[in-house]
Homo-oligomer: A and B are copies of this chain.
Amino acid sequence: MLVNGIPGNSISIRDRGLLYGDGVFRTLRVAQGKALHWSLHYLKLQRDCAALGITCPDEVLLCAELDKVLAQHPDGVVKLIVTRGESGRGYTPSAAAEPTRIWDFSPLPDYPAECAMQGVKARVCSLRLSAQPRMACVKHLNRLENVLAAAELSDAQLHGEPAAEGLLLDADGHLIEGTRSNLFLVSQGRLVTPDLSRCGVAGIQRGRVMAWALQHGVTLHVRDVGLEEALQADELFIVNSVIGLWPICELEQRHWSHFPVAVQIRLGLERQDA
């Protein structure tokens, strides 16, 4: 654990990351002492910082810090948080604030291999994502909606209805994403992923799937998607940097057992990881 380059596991109670969720973060899969797709993560970090007007830390500095983390923890999950830094009382961001850089490590979660092979059960959360075009796509620290949605999943599990992921709609009933993943539909050989211009987080795995589709001549649409359309899709799958790609095998009483396109994309992405 590093905070501003120094080993430590605490931050100031005046850090705006705590006070207002005034920051952004990245979740990196690290393997054999390397962070997968670091350059994509750094590009996303730059964009997210820019969206909030936070000065993005220099890449050379971050890479040096990442190397320190990787030296101790070569395999697992590394989280990087960049906050706007400390400030006096009040919401107004000070131009003088120095962004805070926080690195943390956790072991890779012990997901069964079947998740990727046979798919996972998903459910629709009752919480609706709010629309905020100014912060759409950005992976910022204001994540209470994800927390409340994840709590729904955990409640459902207690009631004997386990699901590996919860899907989130916006107030207009458009399907947006999972609580911790982006969503794709496969219909007649075409890929569709929800438009995220009003809400949702545009993760880097989503970008990688979109790039894969381009490279392989697969038609991809980014647009509004309703739940009904998803239930009628040939395949559904979710992606993030830790799980990789999981097909969905059950959603709202609908079942899927064959995921030829999802499998092809997963293998394609894994080949790039290697």
Whether the pair A18, B20 counts as a contact (CB closer than 8 A) is no
- Contact A13 to B10, CB < 8 A, known contacts A144-B20, A147-B91: yes
Chain B contacts for A151, CB-based, 8 A? 53, 92-93
How many interface residues does A have (CB within 8 Å)?
Answer: 60
Whether the pair A106, B89 counts as a contact (CB closer than 8 A) is yes
Whether the pair A19, B141 counts as a contact (CB closer than 8 A) is yes
How near does chain B come to A123, taking the closest CB pair, in angstroms? 14
Interface residues of A in 108-132 (CB under 8 A from B): 109, 127-128, 130-132
Chain B contacts for A31, CB-based, 8 A? none
Whether the pair B146, A20 counts as a contact (CB closer than 8 A) is yes
How distant is the Cα of A185 from the Cα of B242 in the complex, in angstroms? 51
- Contact A143 to B13, CB < 8 A, known contacts A53-B151, A127-B134, A150-B91: no
How near does chain B come to A6, taking the closest CB pair, in angstroms? 12
The yes or no answer to A55 lying at the interface (CB within 8 A) is: no
How near does chain B come to A165, taking the closest CB pair, in angstroms? 11
The yes or no answer to A65 lying at the interface (CB within 8 A) is: no
Chain B contacts for A92, CB-based, 8 A? 147, 150-151, 153-154
How near does chain B come to A72, taking the closest CB pair, in angstroms? 16
Neighbour of A14 across the interface among B8, B9, B171, CB < 8 A = B9
- Contact A90 to B150, CB < 8 A, known contacts A130-B131, A131-B130: yes
| CB closest residue in chain B, given A151 | B93
How distant is the Cα of A102 from the Cα of B135 in the complex, in angstroms? 28
Chain B contacts for A132, CB-based, 8 A? 128, 130, 145
| CB closest residue in chain B, given A180 | B91
Whether the pair B21, A143 counts as a contact (CB closer than 8 A) is yes
The yes or no answer to A104 lying at the interface (CB within 8 A) is: yes
Whether the pair B150, A81 counts as a contact (CB closer than 8 A) is no
Neighbour of A9 across the interface among B12, B83, B130, B140, CB < 8 A = B12
Chain B contacts for A143, CB-based, 8 A? 19-22, 91, 142
Chain B proximity mask over A82-112: 1 for CB below 8 Å, otherwise 0: 0110001111110000000010101001000
On A, residues with C-beta under 8 Å from B are 1, 3, 8-22, 25, 52-53, 77, 79, 81, 83-84, 88-93, 102, 104, 106, 109, 127-128, 130-132, 134-135, 140-151, 153-154, 171, 179-180, 199
12 intermolecular pairs with C-beta atoms under 8 Å apart = A9-B13, A10-B12, A17-B18, A20-B21, A20-B143, A21-B141, A22-B143, A22-B144, A52-B144, A92-B151, A134-B148, A141-B144
Given contacts A53-B148, A93-B150, A131-B131, 6 further A-B contacts (CB under 8 A): A10-B11, A13-B104, A17-B18, A127-B134, A135-B144, A135-B148
